[in-house]
Structure 1
Amino acid sequence: MSHVPLPGAVGVSHLSCYEWLAEDGVRGGSPHVHLTCTEAYVVTGGLGAVQTLTVSGYEEHDLSAGSIVWFTPGTVHRMIQRDNLRITVLMQNSGLPEAGDAVFTFPPDVLADPDAYAEAAVLPAKEGPEADAAARRRRDLAVEGYLVLREASQDGDDSPMREFLRTATAIVAPKVERWLPIWQEGALAAAERTGAQLKALLDGDGSHLTQATVVAATPSRHGGYGMCGRRDEYELPGITAPDALRAAKP
């Protein structure tokens, strides 16, 4: 086996939620949606919340140490900072978020223009004042579009949210062909290995147990600018991502 992914081929990172104040008086991250990946927050410290928006409506879940919340593709989510919120993120389909499986809730005119969207979404630097300012502008632009979606939802109108999801689908559609090998070599391969092991065990064959492997990792990057906050990332075996794409991860 060339590499050993995390259980279930999930991705993992640690987040410290942004402290920046948004236009609605709330501190927190950039609202966005994933199109193929379920995401889980495991709260390790502090206090905060996650705001979620689906076609079914708006919710806010309080977060404190020990809380877990997860949401499926199509859920717009926004992490809220109250007091030193720290979270470990578990992401389905490791490799797909790194390849661009997320769309910010920018205003419709930005979403409709591929060049404008790309310029707003990708950070010009990894660190320093330029990266800090760009990450904050990106967050503010996502909040601007998000608040319109949320207000409509709270008024009982789901049409703006449905239109956003249609636009998000159009944004990622050109990338999907490149995602298939990532999924096939990651999450699908992990499930198929389990299937093969179950079949072997039914036949009394436990030879795979002699190939046991142990893997250890530490963060390869501390404090990167993600969608929700400063992010500690892992370069796990078999998972790679160009810097320009990694800059857009949560």
Structure 2
Amino acid sequence: MVNAGAFTGLPGGVAVSRLCVYDWPAADGVRSGTPHVHLACSEAYVVTGGRGAVQTLTASGHQLTPLAPGTVAWFTPGTVHRLVNEDDLRITVLMQNSGLPEAGDAVLTLPPEYLADPEAYAAATTIPADAPEAERERVARARRDLALEGYRSLREGSGPEALAAFHRAAAALVRPRIEEWRQRWTRGALAAAEATGRHLDRLAAGDAAHLADAVVRAGLPSEQGRLGMCGWLDVYECDERARGTARPATPAPRTTGGL
């Protein structure tokens, strides 16, 4: 039996998913995902196929990072990012603090009037899970295009001040969810770090008993083809809820959420 104090999720309590970036052309002719920002989580891309780029916007300005197989790119909270698909771009995505991104730690760059009104924001960004696939894709494209309006305003606005105003509006929008996020962080990334601390304490004392609690886990995607913000997602459940060895994955309806 695994020690009750052990953490058995992915290393560091991260989340992992596979992403095929949208190939839908936007108004500027670029095939891309939806620009957005994370408020508490860093994100990393491991490019596994195709070619593209990630456009980023921080207080230091705009940057374009090319993406090709073998590239690893990452950025910290506050980075507005837009994935660009130039040729069948496919990525393995690593998200800090598993559970937080899925619980809403992402705000799309919608125009300010949407950010100031939680109901309007939800109406513009939620994809109805029970709608036909064509309707879900229409909503996903519409919210991408609306976010691009706000994104262009940020890029063309008054530099860091415009971005700072967006950050403040995004923080106000998610504030009601912070306690829920804190609970997820406590069960995930914090628990993983604390487990390492206990292991170090035991090893320093010459105690290797925790090594007898070793486990091996593997799994296939628990959900495939989800309509995320950046593209179609295959989602893995690798946190403390995961159990045992690999199990078959079944295609799931494309719904809202994800990266």
Where on the TM-score scale, by shorter chain, does this alignment land: which range? over 0.9
The runs of 4+ residues in structure 1 deviating greater than 6 Å are none
Name the structure 2 match of 1:173.
175
Name the structure 2 match of 1:15.
19
Rounded Cα–Cα distance in structure 2 between residues aligned with 1:23 and 1:187:
39
Q: Which amino acid aligns with 1:248?
A: G
Name the structure 2 match of 1:142.
147
Alpha-carbon distance change, 31 to 239 in structure 1, aligned in 2, over 3 angstroms: farther
Write the mapping of 1:126-141 to structure 2, written as runs, cut at 5 A.
Answer: 128-141=133-146
Please give the secondary structure, in 1, of the residue aligned with 2:151.
helix
Matched, 1:207 2:209: yes
Please, which of 231, 244, 249 is the counterpart of residue 233 of structure 2? 231
Sequence identity (%)? 55
Name the structure 1 match of 2:257.
248
Name the structure 2 match of 1:101.
105
Q: Which amino acid aligns with 2:68?
A: S
Alpha-carbon distance change, 239 to 31 in structure 1, aligned in 2, over 3 angstroms: farther
Name the structure 1 match of 2:245.
none
Deviation at 1:169, TM superposition (A): 0.4
Deviation at 1:237, TM superposition (A): 3.8
Scaled by the length of structure 2, the TM-score of the pair is: 0.90
On the 8 A contact 1:48/1:79 being kept in 2, the answer is: yes
Structure 1: which 5+ residue stretches go unaligned? none
Please, which of 185, 188, 196 is the counterpart of residue 187 of structure 2? 185
Matched, 1:194 2:203: no
Structure 2: which 5+ residue stretches go unaligned? 243-251
Matched, 1:86 2:95: no
Name the structure 2 match of 1:161.
163
Deviations 1:39-88 (A, max 9, x none): 00000010000000011110000000000110000000000000000000
Deviations 1:168-224 (A, max 9, x none): 000111100111111011100100000000010000000000000011110011111
On the 8 A contact 2:188/2:239 being kept in 1, the answer is: no
Please give the secondary structure, in 1, of the residue aligned with 2:203.
helix
Q: Which moved more, 1:52-61 or 1:229-238?
A: 229-238
Rounded Cα–Cα distance in structure 2 between residues aligned with 1:20 and 1:148:
21
Give the alignment's Cα RMSD to 1 decimal: 1.7
Scaled by the length of structure 1, the TM-score of the pair is: 0.93
Tell me the matched-pair count. Answer: 243
Rounded Cα–Cα distance in structure 1 between residues aligned with 2:180 and 2:69:
37
